[in-house]
Amino acid sequence: MASAIARVVGRPTWQQTMLRIKDPGKSIPFYTDVMGMTVIDTLDFPQWKFKLWFLATLPEEERYALTPGTKEAHDYMWSIEGTALELTYNYGTEKDESQKYHPGNEERDGFGHIAFNTDDVYAACEKLEKAGVTFKKKPDEGRMKGLAFAYDPDGYWVEILKRNETNKIPNYFNFSQTMKRIKDPSKTIPFYEALGMTVVRQKDYGDFSNFFLTSSSNVDTSVDYSSLSDAEAKAKMSMLFGPVLELTHNHGTENDEDFKHYNGNEEGRQGYGHIGFLVDDVYAACDSIRELGYGFKKEPDGGGMKGLAFAWDPDGYAVEIIKRGGIEFGDKRVET
């Protein structure tokens, strides 16, 4: 499904997936100690009573020496070529017993899950279970054997997938997917291709299809992905170090004018928030995005934080557009 739509200017790269969390005292150790991610930066906004953590799977041999929350960490994080997991914490939620975020996967929910790849799903799940992690599905349960869905501390589904080859990626786990449901791939796929993404695999299962896209920094430019068999595409995708955006289309939704997925930001259904892209120039990129015709939740000069934007994708998901190198966010910096 190659796109004829012009690319958005400014070399957009997929930089983040945002989820809301209730208790950072539980969620941060889950993603660092259990899933092997590194906190590369934080943004703290006491004036608005929320804090952001940014986590990434770094190469196993890389030792991260920067202090999250400092200018140096900000400079690193807003220049990465990979994709971070942004965890958003609103002050005090951990003290409210009734507070719970919506993890998705109910009727008409758009967000599905995130995923991590590993060499051995069965051994990984034993390791997770010993660490106190619970499961939606263990590897030998259900119809699809050899993959699993764990729960994170907020109840988000975390898929555990097998790499095609062992001992090639040193990390025990690597952040490998964000999954969302879409209504009409003929609109959504070109939108993300315009944002610099490449379809590295697509699979028709009869009543639904999956499209897997990844950012330019994660693409092997020597490979013509459209010429691969599904087995070849699946194998190559499993060995990518960075994540793919999995877009799931349930056939027929595109013919229902009234159908719409929840985007994760509605009152009472908040959990997943958005994905975000770095660009060289937010204003120029937004001029390009405006031509796609889906509008903006926040224009670059709208609201209290100038110089970043939130566009709508064809399904009504929010897509953050951020300047490569960052802006002055007004956060409380960590001094070293």
Q: Which residues contact 217 (CB under 8 A, 6 or more apart)?
A: 13, 81, 82, 242
Torsion over CA of 29, 33, 35 and 36, rounded to 10 degrees? 120
d(CA 281, CA 238): 32
* CB crowding 186-203: b at 16 or more within 10 Å, else e: ebbbbbbbbbbbbbbbbe
Which listed residue (86, 106, 141, 159) is catalytic? 159
For residue 152 the two structure tokens come to 């994170």
Amino acid letter, 111: F
Active site residue 246: no
Task: Decide the pairing of beta strands 272-279 and 13-21.
Answer: antiparallel
Rounded alpha-carbon distances, angstroms, from residue 84 to 93, 167, 303, 330? 23, 24, 25, 21
Nearest to 269 by CA among 153, 105, 121, 151: 105
For residue 252 the two structure tokens come to 């027929």
Nearest to 214 by CA among 230, 193, 184: 193
d(CA 159, CA 178): 10
Catalytic residue positions?
A: 159
